[in-house]
Amino acid sequence: MKISLIIPVFNEEAILPLLRTKVENLVKPLNFQWEFILINDGSMDKSKEIIDRWAKEDSRAVGVSFSRNFGHQAAITAGLAQSTGDAVIIMDADLQDPPEIILDLIKEWEKGFKVVLAVRKRRKENFLRRTVFGLFYRLFSFLVDASLKVDSGVFGLMDKVVVRHILLLEERNRFLPGLRAWVGFKTTRILYVRDDRSIGSPKQSVIKLLKYGMDAIFSFSYRPLRACFVLGAIMSATCFIYGFVLIVLRIANVNVVSGFTTITVSIFFVGGLLLISNGLLGEYIARIYDEVKKRPLYIIDEIVKR
């Protein structure tokens, strides 16, 4: 049996030597064939040189370099396309997801599960990142129909059957945890504690994380659009009732205070609602625009292996 370990890399020169040591020591006693697929996602430091050296020194390693930075999800997709294992494990290069958990993932796979999720029961990151990630996964679980396990990121194992079906999904704005949940198959999970970074700083900026979250929600849910429809219907009904009340008061010759406050507040409120609705609609249209162009998800510049 062969297992593919996919590791997307972006500017991780400081931690790659430690990652290599940990991975090689971990798999040494295991009775499996291994391949390590390292995707250099347009790194601007010495990550490519380290990956290439690893690939030339170890026949199990494959270094794949993009022509530029295409993003985390594109790197993972490229790794899936290059993989040849009976099972695939995806792990970030920052070592926040302990490599030792790989052993538990494999044990569950050997029991017959096609997907093994590594679910974070606790994060050792700063309070802001813990809070934002927790809120996002709960919001996503509320908005989408697919059964996404809360706090389950990309770290986990998939059988080659699952990988094959995910690769058939050609959408550009990808959210792997959602795609993995959408295709189904027999799934289990294990719990672990996510460590803080021991070396360097997080490579995912707030803007990238925000785009990642928006891709996730808008790729898997129509509920924001439906919420706008419901809000619009409520506003229309409220305005109709309010107008009817004003007419009744005028007929009854009740003194209605004249002025612009009510009109101004109504205009700003309805205008804000329209802008939000148009913004949500624009997000969906932008993604349709991305899809119809049919540009490749990534471009590979070089593949290095021994």
| pTM, to two decimals | 0.71
Residues 46-75: tens digit of each pLDDT: 899 999 999 999 889 999 999 998 888 889
Residue from 110, 116, 109 nearest 91 by CA: 116
CA separation, residue 134 to residues 72, 129, 188, 213 (Å) = 20, 8, 20, 12
What pLDDT score does 178 carry? 80
Tokens 């920052």 correspond to 94
Listed range (125-129, 152-156, 238-242) with the worst mean pLDDT: 125-129
What pLDDT score does 133 carry? 64
CATH architecture assignment, domain 2-221+296-305: Alpha-Beta Complex (3.90)
Ranges of each domain in the chain: 2-221+296-305, 224-293
pLDDT category of residue 212 using cuts at 50, 70 and 90: low
What pLDDT score does 128 carry? 60
Which helix (H) or strand (E) covers residue 228, if one does?
A: helix 223-251
Has residue 124 got a pLDDT over 80? no
Has residue 134 got a pLDDT over 80? no
CA separation, residue 2 to residues 31, 47, 83 (Å) = 9, 26, 10
Mean pLDDT, residues 105-127:
81
CB 52 within 8 Å of CB 64: no
Listed range (181-185, 268-272, 301-305) with the worst mean pLDDT: 268-272
What pLDDT score does 258 carry? 60
Listed range (74-78, 90-94, 248-252) with the worst mean pLDDT: 248-252
Residues 178-210: tens digit of each pLDDT: 888 888 888 888 888 776 555 655 555 556 666
